Amino acid sequence: MDTSALPDTEHLAERARTALGRCGVGRLREPIGAAGVARTPITGQILFPVEFDTAASAERAVTAAHDTFTSAWRDTPAPVRGRLVHRFGELLREHKEDLAALVTIEAGKIHSEALGEVQEMIDICDLAVGLSRQLYGRTMPSERPGHRLMETWHPLGVVGVITAFNFPVAVWSWNTCVALVCGDTVVWKPSELTPLTALACHGLLMRAAEDVGAPADVHRLVLGDREVGEALVEDPRVALLSATGSTAMGRAVAPRVAARMGRYLLELGGNNAAVVAPSADLDLVVRGSVFAAAGTAGQRCTSLRRLIVHEDVADEVARRIVDAYKQLRDRIGDPFEESTLVGPLVGERAHTAMGAALARARADGGEVLVGGARWWEESAADAYYVEPAVVRMPGQTEVVREETFAPILYVLGYRTLEEAVELHNGVPQGLSSAIFTQDQAEAERFLSAAGSDCGIVNVNIGTSGAEIGGAFGGEKDTGGGRESGSDSWKAYMRRATNTVNYGGGLPLAQGVRFL
């Protein structure tokens, strides 16, 4: 394999320009003040300059979103708000290819996964439109005669959405589609690595707003790095800050939002594991693990990073996974190529982190069974293509307990289920988990309160690839937030408890007498 198989940067820039134009971008962005760039990990080179925001322009965006919230959006009936999201969903269906191309260009995701990410946006639109007629409150029997007790859900205000590079469009849409039907307005600060996908999403949403007569400032996009994000963190008009990214980012953001008594919703790093029991169907284990560990070049928050295998089957599982990884070697490269399964890492930092983690694992007594090499170091010096690695570890050392955002799968052994669960839960993060077993009692123990401590717990499938119908998120260092389906919408609204007296008298609760 040689680098002539990679597309050149000019071709990618042209492709990005075409996709952006089709999504209505070009006439959207006035000069603002900060010079940024759009880059592609496919070649590692700059595509073209992009105007970034400053803290001052981000503050103006919050003002606009806040004014629209108070003057229009919170009083627009929820089913009418749903029409905006419905129209947006139609536009996403029309522009699925355009957005997916931008995701591949900016995040380096293979095209099938990029299409899947846009499909996830379409799915959340469907869910949010249905939700716009189902923002249910409860009624409770009052203890007082002639009284009614109920709760009402109201919009919160401006929702600040900060997102990571690796799901550049889906995570924003989970937040935004739900927030919009809940009556909130949104200011979005995407990753500085993915400004083009953000411009395209914003362009399509603005077109939808125009089509249904919704105010344009229901959504504002601010581009830039941490400093621009901090403007949202600090602004008391941002009622909810929903931030997705590393645990380090969450640790920086959470106390600052809490200090101003704001709400936050955090979706942070994972260190996801699967337990493989002796009864497991090993075909499922191999297929499930290889997709979860090497898919998206190990750059999903739910990527499989630890395989905790019963000693009776550990050698066989390791051998079969290594065989499967060897076949991946022919499938590394241009993420637009249909045969490619492993695209590039996002950049140099990710590659350095991978090399450092492998060195530490070796120093801890780990054996690299396969992978780890970088490709095209000379001919594509700015791009970082790596062979996904599998490392057999003698124990769960410090490096295994950390999230390295790259394709490294650590294999650990266990003897009893208790030991497996202890290893499984013995990391700071708590996002996604799985058990492969044919033993129902064992599966139930893993799903129980004394089993996995994660927000996502699966049986006989891998750790990645969640659907939007369930609540998504995790515990411990993953931040505790929940987004997407189920009752996650409640995080985007405030609850009022109402007592209505229709009886004429004024009985007090708890039998209190006064006057």
**Active site members:** 267
What 3 state SS string does 381-424 have? CCCCEECCEEEECCCCCHHHHCCCCCCEEEEEEECCHHHHHHHH
Q: Does 98 bind ligand NAD (CB under 6 A)?
A: no
Query: What CA–CA distance (Å, rounded) separates 122 from 115?
Result: 11
Number of H helices, E strands in the chain: 15, 23
Q: Which positions ≥6 away from 464 have C-beta within 8 Å?
A: 272, 291, 292, 295, 296, 300, 302, 303, 304, 432
Q: Which one of 155, 245, 366, 480 is in contact with ligand NAD (CB under 6 A)?
A: 245
- Determine if 268 is a binding residue for ligand NAD (CB under 6 A): yes
> Any idea which residue has 């362009």 for tokens?
203
Per CB under 6 A, 486 contacts ligand NAD: no
Q: Return the structure tokens found at 282.
A: 């090993």
Q: Does 491 bind ligand NAD (CB under 6 A)?
A: no
Nearest approach, Cβ of 269 to ligand NAD (angstroms)?
Answer: 3
Q: HSE, CB side, 13 Å, CA atoms: give it for residue 381.
A: 1
Residue 477 sits in the site that holds ligand NAD (CB under 6 A): no
CB 131 within 8 A of CB 473: no
Q: Is 401 in the site for ligand NAD (CB under 6 A)?
A: no
Count of residues interacting with ligand NAD (CB under 6 A) = 30
Residue 162 within binding range of ligand NAD, rule CB under 6 A: yes
Determine if 173 is a binding residue for ligand NAD (CB under 6 A): no
Q: Least Å distance between CB 222 and ligand NAD?
A: 10
Amino acid at 45: Q
Handedness of CA 17, 19, 22, 28 (dihedral sign): negative
Q: Say whether residue 53 binds ligand NAD (CB under 6 A).
A: no
Give me the phi and psi of 173, to 5 degrees please.
-70, -35
Sheet strands side by side (includes 367-370): 367-370, 389-392, 408-414, 304-310, 272-276, 432-436, 456-459
Q: What is the DSSP letter of 465?
A: -
Please say which residue, 185 or 478, places its beta carbon nearer to ligand NAD: 478
Closer by beta carbon to ligand NAD, 72 or else 252: 252
Rule CB under 6 A: is residue 253 a binding residue for ligand NAD? Answer: yes
Indicate whether 246 belongs to the interface with ligand NAD (CB under 6 A): yes
Q: Which is nearer to ligand NAD, 155 or 295 (CB)?
A: 295
Residue labelled with tokens 């229709």: 502
3-state secondary structure of 213: coil
Q: Which of 214, 253 has the CB closer to ligand NAD?
A: 253
Residue 249 makes contact with ligand NAD by CB under 6 A: yes
Nearer to ligand NAD, 165 or 436 (CB): 165
> Alpha-carbon distance 361 to 346, whole Å?
22
Tell me which stretch binds ligand NAD (CB under 6 A): 92-100, 264-272, 357-365, 443-451.
Answer: 264-272
| Cα-based distances in Å from 90 to 81, 217, 451 | 15, 20, 42
- Sole window of 14-22, 100-108, 149-157, 241-249 interacting with ligand NAD (rule: CB under 6 A): 241-249
58 interacts with ligand NAD by CB under 6 A: no
Q: How far apart are CA 24 and CA 22, in angstroms?
A: 5
* 285 forms part of the interface with ligand NAD (CB under 6 A): no
Nearer Cβ to ligand NAD, position 52 or 414? 52
Compute the least distance from the CB of residue 261 to ligand NAD, in Å: 18
- 234 and 252 Cβ atoms separated by less than 8 Å: no
Binder among 98, 334, 403, 442 for ligand NAD (CB under 6 A): 403
**Which residues between 295 and 334 bind ligand NAD (CB under 6 A)?**
301
227, two tokens: 């400093």
Q: Does 113 contact ligand NAD by CB under 6 A?
A: no
Any contact of residue 161 with ligand NAD (CB under 6 A)? no
8 Å CB contact between 43 and 380: yes
Interface residue with ligand NAD among 168, 229, 366, 388 (CB under 6 A) is 229
Candidate list 167, 172, 375, 446; residue touching ligand NAD; CB under 6 A: 167
Smallest separation, CB 513 to ligand NAD (Å)? 53
Distance between CA 238 and CA 175 in Å, rounded?
Answer: 14
Q: How far is CA 310 from the centre of its chain?
A: 31
> Does residue 117 touch ligand NAD according to CB under 6 A?
no
CB of 226 to ligand NAD, least distance (A): 4
Stretch that binds ligand NAD, among 39-47, 246-254, 377-385, 494-502 (CB under 6 A): 246-254
- Residue 168 within binding range of ligand NAD, rule CB under 6 A: no
**CA angle in degrees (0–180, nearest 5) for 511-512-515:** 130
**Of the listed pieces 207-215, 265-273, 321-329, 495-503, which binds ligand NAD according to CB under 6 A?**
265-273
* Site for ligand NAD contains 431 (CB under 6 A): yes
Distance, in Å, from the CA atom of 45 to the CA atom of 378, rounded to the nearest integer, reads 15
- What interhelical angle do 226-234 and 55-71 show, nearest 10? 40
Closest of 342, 451, 456, 357 to residue 398, by C-alpha: 357
* The amino acid at 44: G
Write out the two tokens for 346: 């996002």
Least CB distance from residue 137 to ligand NAD, whole Å?
28
**Choice between 163 and 452, CB closer to ligand NAD:** 163
Residues 189-218 binding ligand NAD (CB under 6 A) are 189, 191-192
Name the site residues for ligand NAD (rule: CB under 6 A): 162-167, 171, 189, 191-192, 225-226, 229-230, 233, 244-246, 249, 252-253, 267-270, 301, 403, 405, 431, 478
